[in-house]
Protein backbone atom coordinates (compact mmCIF):
# COMPACT_ATOMS: atom_id res chain seq x y z
CA UNK A 1 0.00 0.00 0.00
CA UNK A 2 2.68 2.46 1.01
CA UNK A 3 6.31 2.22 0.06
CA UNK A 4 8.81 4.80 1.27
CA UNK A 5 12.07 4.46 -0.64
CA UNK A 6 15.28 6.02 0.59
CA UNK A 7 13.92 9.45 1.27
CA UNK A 8 16.00 12.37 2.45
CA UNK A 9 14.28 15.27 4.12
CA UNK A 10 15.79 18.60 5.08
CA UNK A 11 14.55 21.46 7.21
CA UNK A 12 16.46 24.49 5.97
CA UNK A 13 20.02 23.25 6.13
CA UNK A 14 19.35 20.49 8.62
CA UNK A 15 19.39 16.98 7.27
CA UNK A 16 16.66 15.23 9.21
CA UNK A 17 15.91 12.00 7.42
CA UNK A 18 18.65 9.98 5.78
CA UNK A 19 17.68 7.40 3.22
CA UNK A 20 14.63 6.27 5.13
CA UNK A 21 12.69 3.34 3.75
CA UNK A 22 9.69 1.54 5.04
CA UNK A 23 6.73 -0.46 3.86
CA UNK A 24 3.15 -0.59 4.97
CA UNK A 25 1.03 -3.38 3.64
CA UNK A 26 -2.66 -3.13 3.12
CA UNK A 27 -4.60 -3.62 6.32
CA UNK A 28 -1.48 -3.48 8.47
CA UNK A 29 -0.92 -1.40 11.55
CA UNK A 30 2.69 -0.35 11.33
CA UNK A 31 4.43 1.64 14.02
CA UNK A 32 7.40 3.98 13.97
CA UNK A 33 9.04 4.66 17.30
CA UNK A 34 11.94 6.79 18.35
CA UNK A 35 12.94 9.44 20.82
CA UNK A 36 11.92 13.02 20.29
CA UNK A 37 13.87 14.96 17.79
CA UNK A 38 14.85 12.01 15.68
CA UNK A 39 12.53 12.62 12.80
CA UNK A 40 9.34 10.69 13.49
CA UNK A 41 6.95 13.54 12.83
CA UNK A 42 8.97 14.67 9.87
CA UNK A 43 8.71 11.21 8.39
CA UNK A 44 4.95 11.19 8.70
CA UNK A 45 4.67 14.69 7.33
CA UNK A 46 6.86 13.79 4.40
CA UNK A 47 4.69 10.80 3.59
CA UNK A 48 1.58 12.96 3.75
CA UNK A 49 2.94 15.72 1.59
CA UNK A 50 3.31 18.36 4.26
CA UNK A 51 7.07 18.71 3.95
CA UNK A 52 9.11 18.45 0.78
CA UNK A 53 11.17 15.37 0.10
CA UNK A 54 14.62 16.13 -1.24
CA UNK A 55 15.50 12.69 -2.55
CA UNK A 56 14.01 9.25 -2.87
CA UNK A 57 10.43 8.33 -3.63
CA UNK A 58 7.16 7.51 -1.98
CA UNK A 59 4.71 5.15 -3.62
CA UNK A 60 1.15 4.97 -2.40
CA UNK A 61 -1.41 2.65 -3.92
CA UNK A 62 0.83 2.17 -6.91
CA UNK A 63 1.27 5.86 -7.54
CA UNK A 64 4.38 7.92 -6.96
CA UNK A 65 3.25 10.67 -4.64
CA UNK A 66 6.42 12.57 -3.96
CA UNK A 67 5.80 16.25 -4.49
CA UNK A 68 2.07 15.89 -4.93
CA UNK A 69 -0.14 18.38 -3.09
CA UNK A 70 -1.81 17.31 0.10
CA UNK A 71 -5.28 17.70 -1.38
CA UNK A 72 -4.37 15.14 -4.01
CA UNK A 73 -3.33 12.67 -1.34
CA UNK A 74 -6.37 13.20 0.81
CA UNK A 75 -8.55 12.66 -2.23
CA UNK A 76 -6.91 9.26 -2.52
CA UNK A 77 -7.46 8.36 1.08
CA UNK A 78 -4.07 9.20 2.58
CA UNK A 79 -4.99 11.13 5.70
CA UNK A 80 -2.75 12.71 8.32
CA UNK A 81 -3.66 13.26 11.97
CA UNK A 82 -1.20 15.69 13.55
CA UNK A 83 0.37 15.36 16.97
CA UNK A 84 -0.73 18.89 17.76
CA UNK A 85 -4.19 18.12 16.45
CA UNK A 86 -4.58 21.21 14.24
CA UNK A 87 -8.25 21.66 14.91
CA UNK A 88 -10.19 24.75 13.85
CA UNK A 89 -10.52 26.46 17.22
CA UNK A 90 -13.37 28.82 16.47
CA UNK A 91 -15.51 26.24 14.75
CA UNK A 92 -17.79 23.76 16.43
CA UNK A 93 -17.06 20.08 16.80
CA UNK A 94 -19.63 19.39 14.13
CA UNK A 95 -18.12 21.94 11.75
CA UNK A 96 -14.67 20.51 12.31
CA UNK A 97 -15.92 17.04 11.53
CA UNK A 98 -17.84 18.11 8.47
CA UNK A 99 -14.76 19.87 7.18
CA UNK A 100 -13.02 16.53 7.41
CA UNK A 101 -15.42 15.50 4.68
CA UNK A 102 -14.54 18.54 2.58
CA UNK A 103 -13.52 16.64 -0.51
CA UNK A 104 -15.98 14.68 -2.59
CA UNK A 105 -14.48 11.47 -1.31
CA UNK A 106 -15.64 12.15 2.19
CA UNK A 107 -18.65 14.22 1.24
CA UNK A 108 -20.43 11.28 -0.33
CA UNK A 109 -20.28 9.32 2.90
CA UNK A 110 -20.66 12.33 5.11
CA UNK A 111 -23.70 11.40 7.12
CA UNK A 112 -22.58 7.81 7.61
CA UNK A 113 -19.12 8.90 8.65
CA UNK A 114 -20.54 11.40 11.09
CA UNK A 115 -22.70 8.74 12.67
CA UNK A 116 -19.74 6.42 12.85
CA UNK A 117 -17.60 9.02 14.57
CA UNK A 118 -20.29 9.87 17.07
CA UNK A 119 -20.79 6.19 17.83
CA UNK A 120 -17.09 5.80 18.35
CA UNK A 121 -16.88 8.92 20.49
CA UNK A 122 -20.10 9.62 22.32
CA UNK A 123 -18.34 12.44 24.13
CA UNK A 124 -18.00 14.28 20.87
CA UNK A 125 -21.67 13.83 20.14
CA UNK A 126 -22.42 15.52 23.44
CA UNK A 127 -20.20 18.42 22.54
CA UNK A 128 -21.35 18.68 18.97
CA UNK A 129 -22.17 22.38 19.09
CA UNK A 130 -19.23 23.41 21.20
CA UNK A 131 -16.27 25.31 19.84
CA UNK A 132 -13.21 23.18 19.34
CA UNK A 133 -11.05 25.34 21.49
CA UNK A 134 -13.17 24.57 24.54
CA UNK A 135 -12.40 20.86 24.37
CA UNK A 136 -10.15 19.05 26.78
CA UNK A 137 -6.97 17.34 25.61
CA UNK A 138 -8.59 13.95 25.31
CA UNK A 139 -11.62 15.32 23.51
CA UNK A 140 -9.41 17.28 21.15
CA UNK A 141 -7.55 14.12 20.25
CA UNK A 142 -10.84 12.36 19.63
CA UNK A 143 -11.94 15.19 17.40
CA UNK A 144 -8.67 15.13 15.49
CA UNK A 145 -8.97 11.43 14.87
CA UNK A 146 -12.67 11.75 14.14
CA UNK A 147 -12.01 14.47 11.60
CA UNK A 148 -9.45 12.22 9.98
CA UNK A 149 -12.04 9.48 9.73
CA UNK A 150 -14.47 11.84 8.04
CA UNK A 151 -12.10 11.93 5.09
CA UNK A 152 -12.86 8.25 4.43
CA UNK A 153 -9.22 7.25 4.78
CA UNK A 154 -7.64 4.22 3.27
CA UNK A 155 -4.35 4.84 5.03
CA UNK A 156 -4.40 6.82 8.24
CA UNK A 157 -1.12 8.35 9.36
CA UNK A 158 -1.37 9.18 13.05
CA UNK A 159 1.28 11.19 14.86
CA UNK A 160 1.72 10.51 18.56
CA UNK A 161 -1.95 10.29 19.54
CA UNK A 162 -0.96 9.70 23.14
CA UNK A 163 0.73 13.08 23.44
CA UNK A 164 -0.57 14.98 26.41
CA UNK A 165 -3.17 12.42 27.34
CA UNK A 166 -3.73 10.80 30.70
CA UNK A 167 -2.81 7.09 30.73
CA UNK A 168 -6.38 5.86 30.84
CA UNK A 169 -7.27 7.98 27.83
CA UNK A 170 -4.19 6.70 26.05
CA UNK A 171 -5.42 3.14 26.46
CA UNK A 172 -8.81 4.03 25.07
CA UNK A 173 -7.20 5.91 22.21
CA UNK A 174 -5.02 2.99 21.24
CA UNK A 175 -7.90 0.59 21.52
CA UNK A 176 -9.86 2.79 19.13
CA UNK A 177 -6.98 2.71 16.70
CA UNK A 178 -6.82 -1.05 16.94
CA UNK A 179 -10.53 -1.09 16.31
CA UNK A 180 -10.02 0.91 13.15
CA UNK A 181 -7.46 -1.58 11.97
CA UNK A 182 -9.84 -4.38 12.62
CA UNK A 183 -12.37 -2.63 10.45
CA UNK A 184 -9.94 -2.56 7.59
CA UNK A 185 -8.15 0.80 7.70
CA UNK A 186 -4.41 0.67 7.08
CA UNK A 187 -2.56 2.60 9.73
CA UNK A 188 0.88 4.11 10.09
CA UNK A 189 1.34 5.07 13.70
CA UNK A 190 4.12 7.12 15.19
CA UNK A 191 4.75 6.96 18.90
CA UNK A 192 7.47 7.72 21.32
CA UNK A 193 7.72 4.40 23.05
CA UNK A 194 7.38 0.87 21.84
CA UNK A 195 5.77 -0.26 25.04
CA UNK A 196 2.68 1.76 24.24
CA UNK A 197 1.95 0.12 20.95
CA UNK A 198 3.53 -3.29 20.92
CA UNK A 199 0.22 -4.88 21.67
CA UNK A 200 -1.50 -3.60 18.59
CA UNK A 201 1.06 -3.27 15.80
CA UNK A 202 2.00 -5.78 13.15
CA UNK A 203 5.43 -4.34 12.69
CA UNK A 204 7.49 -1.56 14.16
CA UNK A 205 10.34 0.46 12.75
CA UNK A 206 12.73 2.20 15.05
CA UNK A 207 13.97 5.60 13.94
CA UNK A 208 17.12 7.02 15.41
CA UNK A 209 18.74 10.22 14.26
CA UNK A 210 16.83 10.15 11.05
CA UNK A 211 17.77 6.61 10.16
CA UNK A 212 15.74 3.45 10.40
CA UNK A 213 17.75 1.20 12.64
CA UNK A 214 15.59 -1.84 12.85
CA UNK A 215 12.30 -3.42 12.10
CA UNK A 216 10.47 -5.82 14.37
CA UNK A 217 7.63 -8.09 13.44
CA UNK A 218 4.98 -8.87 16.01
CA UNK A 219 2.46 -11.62 16.11
CA UNK A 220 -0.13 -8.96 16.19
CA UNK A 221 -2.85 -9.10 18.75
CA UNK A 222 -5.05 -7.37 16.28
CA UNK A 223 -6.46 -9.44 13.52
CA UNK A 224 -8.73 -8.00 10.88
CA UNK A 225 -12.37 -8.72 11.46
CA UNK A 226 -13.77 -11.69 9.61
CA UNK A 227 -15.76 -9.74 7.06
CA UNK A 228 -12.81 -7.56 6.04
CA UNK A 229 -10.84 -8.90 3.12
CA UNK A 230 -7.09 -9.06 3.85
Looking at the Cβ atoms of 74 and 200, the one nearer to another protein is 74
Task: Choose, by CB under 8 A, the member of 209, 213, 216, 225 that binds another protein.
Answer: 209
**Strand intervals (E) in the chain:** 2-11, 14-24, 29-33, 55-60, 63-64, 78-81, 155-159, 186-191, 203-208, 211-217
What is the closest distance, in whole angstroms, from the C-beta atom of residue 57 to another protein in the complex? 14
| Residues between 72 and 101 that touch another protein (CB under 8 A) | 74-75, 79-82, 85-91, 95, 98-100
Outline where 110-161 has alpha helix (H).
110-120, 122-126, 137-150
Does residue 135 bind another protein (CB under 8 A)?
Answer: no
Overall residue count recorded for the chain in this entry: 230
Span interacting with another protein, options 22-30, 47-55, 174-182, 194-202, rule CB under 8 A: 47-55
Looking at the Cβ atoms of 28 and 83, the one nearer to another protein is 83
Contact 109, 168 (CB under 8 A): no
CA distance 129 to 98: 12
Does residue 47 bind another protein (CB under 8 A)?
Answer: no
Task: Choose, by CB under 8 A, the member of 38, 127, 181, 203 that binds another protein.
Answer: 38
Task: Choose, by CB under 8 A, the member of 210, 212, 222, 224 that binds another protein.
Answer: 210
What is the closest distance, in whole angstroms, from the C-beta atom of residue 138 to another protein in the complex? 18
Nearest to 95 by CA among 141, 49, 146: 146
| Residues between 9 and 28 that touch another protein (CB under 8 A) | 10-16, 18
Looking at the Cβ atoms of 45 and 127, the one nearer to another protein is 45
CA distances 76 to 60, 80, 103, 151, 182, Å, are 9, 12, 10, 10, 21
CA distance 149 to 13: 35
Task: Choose, by CB under 8 A, the member of 27, 49, 56, 138 that binds another protein.
Answer: 49
CA distance 214 to 21: 11
Chain residues that interact with another protein, rule: CB under 8 A = 10-16, 18, 36-42, 45, 48-52, 67-71, 74-75, 79-82, 85-91, 95, 98-100, 102-103, 105-106, 147-148, 150-151, 209-210
Amino acid sequence: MLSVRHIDVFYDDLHILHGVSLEVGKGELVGVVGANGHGKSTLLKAVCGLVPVAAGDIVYAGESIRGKPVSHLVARGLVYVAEDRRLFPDMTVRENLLLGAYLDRGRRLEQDSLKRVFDLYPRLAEREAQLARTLSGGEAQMLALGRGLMSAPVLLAIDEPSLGLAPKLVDTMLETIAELKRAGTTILLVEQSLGLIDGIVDRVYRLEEGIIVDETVFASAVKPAAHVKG
